[in-house]
């Protein structure tokens, strides 16, 4: 099982250079999970970086989720506790990983669901989170 971070979703949706490798990881480790926060971050990232309108980005994300059979998971007390712990240990200004709010919740959702994290960049590589991509 894999939790997909917004960075990986955006890469796959926009055909960035590592999109195929990320898609292969997602396909090999189904089912895929995401949260309201990672979905929101994906929509915001598409708008900010790729200049999509909010409705277009939202539709694109919903289509991507359906096409890849991604399950939207809920965020509750356990995820909150894990996100706070992630911030305490790996948060921006506290650790070289520099996790922000969205990162802390991706970390928490991954841990809470005993999944692996599919992501881009090197921030999560500086944590103890199990990786879907290496």
The per-residue pLDDT for range 113-122, each reduced to its tens digit, is: 999 999 999 9
For 113, phi then psi, to 5°, come to -105, 10
Q: What's the CA gap between 125 and 106, in Å, rounded?
A: 13
Domains of the chain: 2-126 (3.40.50.1010)
Residues 14-44 as b/e (b if ≥16 CB within 10 A, e otherwise) read: eeeeebeebeebbeebeebbbbebbbebbbb
The per-residue pLDDT for range 93-119, each reduced to its tens digit, is: 999 999 999 999 999 999 999 999 999
Sheet containing strand 32-35, edge to edge, reads 70-73, 32-35, 2-4, 116-118
């Amino acid at each position: 099982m894999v939790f997909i971070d917004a960075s990986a979703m955006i890469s796959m949706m926009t055909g960035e250079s590592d999109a195929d490798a990320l898609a292969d990881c997602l396909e090999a480790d189904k089912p895929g999970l995401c949260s309201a926060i990672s979905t929101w971050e994906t929509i915001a990232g598409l708008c900010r970086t790729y200049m999509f309108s909010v409705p277009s980005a939202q539709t694109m994300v919903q289509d991507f989720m359906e096409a890849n059979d991604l399950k939207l998971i809920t965020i509750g007390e356990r995820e909150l506790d894990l996100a706070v712990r992630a911030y305490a240990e790996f948060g921006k200004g506290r650790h070289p990983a520099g996790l922000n709010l969205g990162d802390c919740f991706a970390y928490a959702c991954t841990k809470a669901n005993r999944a692996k994290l599919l992501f881009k960049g090197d921030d999560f590589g500086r944590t103890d989170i199990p990786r879907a991509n290496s």
